[in-house]
A and B are shown apart, each in its own frame.
Chain A
Amino acid sequence: MRWTLLAAAALIAVAAGVYVGGARVDSTASAEANAALVGLALPDASGKEQRLDQWRGKVLVVNFWATWCAPCREEMPEFIKAQAEYGPKGLQFVGIAVDQPNKIEEFAKEIGLNYPALVGGFGAMELSKTLGNNLMALPFTVVVDRKGQIVHTQLGNLKPDKLRSLVTQLL
């Protein structure tokens, strides 16, 4: 009986892990890593602390990037477009730059960034590792649903089609 219950619980856990709110979860992040991400507080480029939980209830797209990472910069105009289009419907992009604040500010201005760029150091890379970014490479993007559950992690570019299909499913 005990084992049957355990097995049933395990099955439910697996099922819950795979389907949350109708969106397929394809993240390997643990519950602890998930909690660490949504509870994260980092300074923005002006030094002001920003907590990720201020956007609780929104669909979050957290993008780890750097100005020295060409593939990161290439996909950001697409993120800016998506923020403008889906922002009013409850989408919030948050960039975590593994970079120097002055470079982040300069680049944000240059491309007209319309979402916050937080400053992450090695700790941010370590966090991304716990979220499935084993090589701590960039860009790395995490999609979080309105309940704060990670539903997708992406190493390398998040293609516009993929981004749109994920976001429209969750909004």
Chain B
Amino acid sequence: MAAGAHADPKLLPPEQAFHFSARALDDKTLEARFEVTDGYYLYREKLKFALDPGMAELAATLPVGKVKEDQFFGKVETYRGDVVVRLPLPAPAAGKSVVLVADSQGCADAGVCYPLTRQKVTVAVPEPGKGPGPVVEAVPRKKYWFN
């Protein structure tokens, strides 16, 4: 019997294909980062950020993606490689931790798409005048190096 429904054994789970991390640049700004593995892409319009609790969507200036002409949806922008997004904090959080929630959705060139994937990181926000803080990964890379 064939295993895993004929999936390419190299097909990564979305959290690994779209490696998410974030850090605080200063007391007012977070920086979110998706490292999109070669052979995968993310949809720009599906990228959403929020703080938990509350889950109000954060105002984000998303970088311009590569425009793909989709026969059903028209122009669709996609990201490959690194995607870096600056996120202004909606309320002062100096010296506190915030939980950043990122929703993303993408596909593999191998011909499969993943459903919406939610990833979370807890970021320590520095005191005013300090920063940037350390990078926090949603799924630490060392955890899946040997998988």
Contacts and interface: CB of A to CB of B under 8 A. Distances in A.
A67 interface: yes
A140 B112 CA distance: 9
A1 B6 CA distance: 38
A17 B1 contact: yes
Contacts of B107: 69-71
Interface in B33-76: 43, 46, 70, 72-73
A84 B8 CA distance: 31
A71 B112 contact: yes
Which range holds the interface residue count of chain B? 20 to 34
A139 B14 CA distance: 15
A153 B6 contact: yes
Contacts of B1: 17-18, 25-28
B114 A156 contact: no
Interface in B1-54: 1-8, 11, 13-14, 43, 46
Contact of B5 (A28, A70, A98): A28
Interface of A: 17-18, 25-28, 66-73, 98, 107, 110, 122, 125, 131-140, 153-157
